[in-house]
């Protein structure tokens, strides 16, 4: 029974991170921390890394803190939350940096409708180069409108 509870906590933390990512992206990254995020939209950098990559470290801290507290103080709930946060961060890296932005050239030609919808939603997000008037701030949850506009004959 403990295993099922732990899995439920991990999945809840993972799922909750999509909401946290959406809120943080819309109100923090496109808000007070726009100076760090701006180069991601405007391509003001010339190397492999962007100022925006600092968010990867910032967002890793809660997962690290939960994993550390859970391990050091024998708090399985904290450990499970830390695992969920860390798994979401790994998925975010694979989807955002590898699949969408192709920082390393992998998964270039997927015909999967879900992956095409994610790519289309992110493309629409980047259509807005300024701090305001953005759309599609999440990562793994995609509005149905991006599925409707994605078919086998309509590439993302």
- Scan for tokens 């024998």, then name that residue: 74
- Give the pLDDT score at 122: 80
- Give the pLDDT score at 155: 53
Going from N- to C-terminal start, the domains of the chain cover: 3-107
10-residue averages of pLDDT along the chain (156 residues)? 95 96 91 88 77 88 97 97 97 87 77 86 78 78 77 53
**Nearest Cα to 82, choosing from 99, 95, 70, 100?**
70
Q: What's the N-to-C CA distance of the chain in angstroms?
A: 43
- Give the pLDDT score at 76: 97
- Which tokens is 121 given? 């939603």
- Give the pLDDT score at 27: 93
Please answer whether residues 17 and 60 qualify as being in contact, where contact means their C-beta atoms are separated by less than 8 angstroms: no
- Scan for tokens 């493309």, then name that residue: 123
């Amino acid at each position: 029974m403990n295993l099922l509870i732990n899995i439920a906590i991990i999945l809840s933390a993972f799922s909750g991170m999509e909401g946290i990512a959406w809120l943080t992206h819309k109100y923090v990254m496109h808000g007070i921390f726009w100076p760090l995020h701006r180069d991601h939209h405007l391509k003001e950098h010339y190397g492999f890394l962007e100022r925006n990559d600092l968010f990867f470290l910032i967002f890793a801290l809660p997962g690290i803190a939960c994993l550390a507290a859970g391990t050091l103080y024998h708090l399985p709930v904290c450990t499970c939350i830390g695992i969920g946060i860390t798994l979401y961060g790994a998925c975010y890296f694979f989807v955002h940096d590898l699949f969408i932005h192709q920082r390393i050239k992998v998964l270039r030609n997927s015909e999967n409708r879900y992956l095409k919808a994610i790519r289309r939603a992110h493309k629409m997000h980047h259509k807005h180069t300024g701090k305001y008037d953005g759309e599609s701030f999440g990562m793994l949850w995609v509005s149905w409108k991006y599925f409707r506009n994605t078919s086998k004959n309509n590439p993302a």
